[in-house]
Amino acid sequence: MGRTHTTTRRFRWVGRKPRSDCWPRLPAICGARFGSCPCGTVHRPGSRSPPIVVAMNRSGAPTTVRPATGHDLVALVLLELGIQKMHAAGRPDLFVEPSGDALHDFFRARFSDGSHILLAETDAHVAVGYLLAEHATRAANPFKVASSILYIHHIAVELEQQSSGVGRQLMHAAVKLAGELAVTTLRLDSWQFNTHAHGFFEAEGFTPVNIVFEKLLQ
């Protein structure tokens, strides 16, 4: 899906509105709270995974990329809300307005279907980006050879952190993950209107391999 733009502001929440003490503007403390929030998640402290990549972003602040856990649901929803809003604005005939409840259910399902979710956070444990990928395999058939790839479905960076190196760190973590899975190819797709993302992908070494044409009929 090639998603790279995101912000946690400037749009209306659709669905159950979260409590302000559980869903802060940026999800810095979600994993440190106890009890059950309106999304149904029980938050526990000390649930962060070991880091995959630790580096300094262009502002000089250290950023860590680690595997996300179920305790990061709040952070993932907040990061994805703006991405869905951007897609709904770009192609309202295809994409729906963002729903916090629906996104919460979506990410919860990804933790149980074998997907790989990487979270980028500052040294203050503020989530600033994430990447969602799938190890996709296919047996050989009469038309194509067998394949084993890491398919990147989403990559999102918080608006104020874009162009700071966070997206590159997420990509580097994906490359490391691909090596652990013995995968030699990363693949993703991006909508034509998302031109800002195209430049980023090309800078990261991605090249177009397939073009989908569309004709809308009245």
pLDDT, one tens digit per residue, over 29-53 is: 222 222 334 334 333 333 455 666 5
What one-letter code names the amino acid at 41? T
Lowest mean pLDDT among 8-22, 52-66, 98-112, 195-209: 8-22
Q: What is the mean pLDDT of residues 1-7?
A: 44
Find residue 186's DSSP bridge partners.
Answer: 150
* pLDDT the model gives residue 34: 24
For residue 49, is it within any domain? yes
3-state helix, strand, coil in the chain (%, to 5): 30, 20, 50
DSSP state letters, 61-104 = -EEEEEE--GGGHHHHHHHHHHHHHHHHHH-TTT-PPP-HHHHH
Structural domain total, the chain: 1
For residue 38, is it within any domain? yes
* pLDDT the model gives residue 55: 54
For residue 214, is it within any domain? no
Q: What is the mean pLDDT of residues 147-175?
A: 92
For residue 216, is it within any domain? no
Q: Which domain holds residue 181?
A: 5-203
For residue 127, is it within any domain? yes
For residue 208, is it within any domain? no
> Looking at residue 97, which CATH number applies to its domain?
3.40.630.30
Give the distance between the most distant pair of CA atoms in the chain.
56
For residue 59, is it within any domain? yes
Helix or strand (DSSP H, E) at 42: none
Q: What is the mean pLDDT of residues 6-10?
A: 34
Most confident of 2-16, 43-57, 66-80, 150-164: 66-80
Lowest mean pLDDT among 14-28, 147-161, 190-204: 14-28
Q: Is 146 exposed, middle or buried (0-12, 13-18, 19+ CB in 10 A)?
A: exposed
Q: What is the mean pLDDT of residues 61-68?
A: 88
For residue 218, is it within any domain? no
* pLDDT the model gives residue 20: 34
Q: What is the mean pLDDT of residues 77-90?
A: 91
Q: Around Cβ 213, how many Cβ atoms within 10 Å?
A: 4
Share of residues in the chain with pLDDT > 90 (%): 61
Q: Around Cβ 64, how many Cβ atoms within 10 Å?
A: 20
* pLDDT the model gives residue 161: 83
> Locate tokens 């809308």: which residue?
216
